[in-house]
């Protein structure tokens, strides 16, 4: 399963999830591997870092134009169709596609060369305090499209005096060789839970040059709308149809929610009402399947977070699988989604590939995830070099890119450059990571007040503030009546001491515990190579989702946060 709802009634598509042929590049050994999946799941490849090639066949019933879509390949892919290169892509965490016109009926081969190696070529996937797996790690689908087709639909809800309206932006592409005139029609139908009367979209017409794209934008009000809120996450299917010469030749269905997000007087507002995010940081990582997490285990994660009283999740430190975002939309979970970057100092940020790899990640994240009502804030550059002038230029450029693409959500970035950060004036929301009681043996409240005073003096005055990370480590199953560090008791104590302070601070707009589950880290290089078990052990559940004592501590606070 790639999405929780069908995205087409006209366009034919087929998921290519299943068993693919795979050959390791280092030793030529052949395997049959599941897609989606991580090659580290196979006992021969537990720590394999390198390259390999996946192969599968597709059968096409009629001459057509094909669109291949990959939701995630870790971390670099080169895609070939019948041996001819169709596209390439860097970054495990964003979707990409290839359009192949003029495909004849019959059987064809799709080949995907995959690389998860580190080096100068990779500015974002580097040895880090999480693991870069290898493989086709998210869903794959093949679609038969017309040469003139719907590339993307973005929906921006607005509310004035209680009347809901929306801007619908439709991108039409032309993979053919002749100019085409087209018509757009559509409707906004029934909520996820039930059915309201259909709101018909106002029709639009346009032309698109061969090899080009045309963007049409419509704005209209809608009747009988139920807003999307955490308590009642009403969703609507937005169906767009494309006609040429009077014939409907393509369509695209998106699922949207009517909600607005804004910042005002130091708070974050959803539909004009203040929200407080009680959240977890969650890596896409699981002891059973690495980063290729299936729906069942995504559901379990959200059930456990909800059981602890959480209402938010931060996709640390990269864009997440859309299937997970679909679940958050349906459950009313608030999402902080961020581009791919963790702890990159200035030397890493000056890698010649850094700017373009970040720019592509942000563009693909927003282009593909724009319509998810659960995403209420865009984050960038977790703990990167925001204390330097050169770093500031890059932060500013990335916030500007987000501003050009999406004015409907606030921005933030989690800093650890305490007292030295020179970028707090740039985002809409200021966020900081603080490990009082774990990395710093300090009095929590005193250190928190110092941080809040500094933020107000260093460009953050009047802005909402989020504690984006706090927590402590514990080895699952290690109990100690002395409550020593690494025991479950001490982890629960430190989390309690932090939550006691944050719960009393009405200035805050959210707290995100580090972290939901233990996750695998990279052994090569860096301070994290000393991590016990080659895992980041700060989860309140371990990598198999077995709860530690802190589970109940978090629940005690999150369930009773007024």
Distance in angstroms (rounded) separating the CA atoms of residues 14 and 144: 9
Nearer to ligand ADA, 153 or 341 (CB): 341
- What does DSSP assign to residue 340? S
129 is a site residue for ligand ADA (CB under 6 A):
yes
- Report phi then psi at 295, rounded to 5: -55, -45
329 is a site residue for ligand ADA (CB under 6 A):
no
Among 71, 259, 538, 545, binds ligand ADA (CB under 6 A): 538
Q: Binders of ligand ADA: how many residues, by CB under 6 A?
A: 12
Alpha carbon 28 to its chain's center: 34
Which pair of tokens denotes residue 277? 């995010």
Nearer to ligand ADA, 206 or 526 (CB): 526
Among 254, 536, 543, 545, binds ligand ADA (CB under 6 A): 536
> From the CB of 315, what's the least distance to ligand ADA, in Å?
12
- Relative to beta strand 236-244, strand 180-191 is antiparallel
518 is a site residue for ligand ADA (CB under 6 A):
no
Dihedral sign computed on CA atoms, order 515, 519, 523, 525: negative
Among 56, 386, 433, 487, binds ligand ADA (CB under 6 A): 433
516 is a site residue for ligand ADA (CB under 6 A):
no
Nearer to ligand ADA, 154 or 535 (CB): 535
SS3 state of residue 455: helix
Alpha helices in 282-375 (DSSP H): 295-307, 322-331, 346-349, 354-369
CA distances for 123 relative to 75, 128, 318, 442, 524, angstroms: 11, 12, 14, 34, 16
> From the CB of 26, what's the least distance to ligand ADA, in Å?
30
Residue with smallest beta-carbon separation from ligand ADA: 129
Nearer to ligand ADA, 276 or 514 (CB): 514
Among 24, 314, 342, 372, binds ligand ADA (CB under 6 A): 342
> From the CB of 131, what's the least distance to ligand ADA, in Å?
12
Which pair of tokens denotes residue 498? 């932090």
For residue 102, is the peptide bond before it cis, meaning its omega torsion is within 30 degrees of 0? no
Distance in angstroms (rounded) separating the CA atoms of residues 13 and 10: 9
- Report phi then psi at 91, rounded to 5: 110, 125
338 is a site residue for ligand ADA (CB under 6 A):
no
412 is a site residue for ligand ADA (CB under 6 A):
no
Nearer to ligand ADA, 251 or 543 (CB): 543
> From the CB of 435, what's the least distance to ligand ADA, in Å?
7
Query: Which string of x and - marks every residue 298-317 that binds ligand ADA (by CB under 6 A)?
Result: ------------------x-
Half-sphere exposure of 147 (CA within 13 A, CB side): 16
What part of residues 469-508 is at the interface with ligand ADA (CB under 6 A)? 469
- Report phi then psi at 306, rounded to 5: -65, -40
432 is a site residue for ligand ADA (CB under 6 A):
no
Give the H or E element holding residue 237: strand 236-244
Nearer to ligand ADA, 35 or 434 (CB): 434
SS3 state of residue 208: strand
Nearer to ligand ADA, 330 or 469 (CB): 469
- Report phi then psi at 492, rounded to 5: -65, -40
284 is a site residue for ligand ADA (CB under 6 A):
no
- Report phi then psi at 423, rounded to 5: -120, 10
96 is a site residue for ligand ADA (CB under 6 A):
no
What part of residues 349-408 is at the interface with ligand ADA (CB under 6 A)? 382-383
CB 96 within 8 A of CB 89: yes
Nearer to ligand ADA, 7 or 386 (CB): 386
Nearer to ligand ADA, 251 or 469 (CB): 469
Nearer to ligand ADA, 17 or 468 (CB): 468
Residue 266 contacts by C-beta under 8 Å, 6 or more apart in sequence?
462, 463, 464, 465, 507, 509
- What does DSSP assign to residue 456? I
Among 20, 54, 276, 514, binds ligand ADA (CB under 6 A): 514
320 is a site residue for ligand ADA (CB under 6 A):
no
116 is a site residue for ligand ADA (CB under 6 A):
no
> From the CB of 140, what's the least distance to ligand ADA, in Å?
29
Nearer to ligand ADA, 164 or 378 (CB): 378
User: Helix 295-307 and helix 322-331: axis angle, to 10°?
Assistant: 40
Residue 112 contacts by C-beta under 8 Å, 6 or more apart in sequence?
53, 54, 55, 70, 73, 77, 78, 79, 80, 136
Nearer to ligand ADA, 75 or 535 (CB): 535
* Interacting residues with ligand ADA (CB under 6 A): 129, 316, 342-343, 382-383, 416, 433, 469, 514, 536, 538
């Amino acid at each position: 399963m790639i999405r929780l709802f069908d995205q087409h009634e006209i366009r034919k598509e087929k998921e290519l999830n299943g068993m693919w042929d795979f050959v390791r590049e280092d030793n030529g050994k052949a395997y049959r591997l599941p897609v989606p999946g991580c090659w580290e799941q196979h006992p021969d490849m537990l720590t394999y870092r390198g390259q390999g090639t996946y192969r599968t066949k597709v059968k096409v019933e009629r001459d057509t134009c094909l669109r291949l879509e990959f939701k995630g390949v870790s971390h670099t892919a080169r895609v070939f169709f019948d041996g001819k290169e169709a596209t390439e892509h860097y970054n495990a965490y964003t979707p990409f596609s290839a359009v192949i016109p003029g495909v004849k009926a019959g059987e064809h081969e799709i080949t995907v060369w995959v690389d998860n190696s580190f080096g100068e070529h990779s500015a974002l996937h580097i040895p880090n305090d999480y693991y870069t797996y290898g493989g086709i790690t998210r869903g794959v689908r093949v679609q038969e499209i017309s040469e003139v087709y719907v590339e993307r639909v973005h929906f921006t809800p607005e509310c004035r005096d209680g009347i809901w309206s929306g801007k619908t932006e439709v991108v039409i592409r032309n993979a053919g060789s002749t100019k085409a005139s087209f018509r757009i029609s559509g409707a906004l139908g029934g909520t996820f839970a039930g059915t309201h009367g259909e709101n018909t979209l106002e029709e639009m017409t346009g032309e698109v040059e061969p090899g080009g794209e045309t963007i049409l934008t419509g704005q209209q009000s809608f009747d009988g709308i139920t807003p999307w809120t955490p308590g009642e996450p009403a969703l609507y299917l937005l169906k767009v149809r494309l006609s040429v010469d009077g014939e409907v030749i393509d369509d695209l269905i998106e699922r949207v929610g009517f909600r607005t997000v804004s910042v005002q007087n130091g708070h974050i507002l959803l539909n004009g009402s203040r929200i407080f995010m009680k959240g977890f940081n969650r890596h896409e990582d699981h002891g059973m399947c690495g980063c290729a997490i299936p729906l069942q285990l995504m559901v379990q994660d959200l059930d456990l977070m909800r059981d602890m009283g959480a209402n938010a999740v931060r996709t640390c430190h990269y864009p997440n699988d859309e299937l997970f975002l679909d679940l958050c939309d349906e459950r009313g979970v608030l999402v902080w989604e961020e581009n791919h970057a963790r702890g990159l100092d200035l030397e890493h940020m000056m890698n010649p590939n850094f700017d373009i790899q970040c720019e592509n990640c942000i563009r693909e994240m927003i282009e593909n995830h724009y319509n998810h009502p659960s995403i209420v804030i865009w984050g960038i550059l977790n703990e990167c070099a925001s204390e330097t002038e050169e770093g500031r230029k890059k932060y500013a450029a990335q916030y500007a890119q987000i501003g050009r693409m999406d004015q409907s959500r606030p921005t933030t970035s989690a800093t650890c450059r305490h007292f030295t950060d020179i970028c707090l004036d740039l985002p809409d929301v200021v966020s900081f990571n603080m490990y009082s009681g774990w990395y710093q043996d300090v009095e929590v409240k005193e250190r928190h007040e110092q941080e809040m005073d500094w933020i107000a003096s260093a460009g953050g005055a009047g802005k909402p503030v989020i504690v984006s990370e706090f927590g402590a480590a514990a080895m699952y199953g290690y109990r100690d009546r002395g409550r020593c560090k690494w025991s479950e008791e001490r982890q629960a104590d430190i989390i309690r001491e932090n939550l006691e302070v944050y719960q009393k601070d009405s200035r805050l707009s959210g707290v995100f515990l580090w972290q939901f589950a233990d996750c695998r880290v990279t052994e090569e290089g860096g301070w994290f190579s000393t991590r016990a078990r080659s895992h980041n052990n700060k989860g309140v559940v371990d990598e198999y989702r077995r709860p530690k004592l802190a589970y109940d501590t978090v629940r005690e606070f999150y369930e009773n946060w007024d």
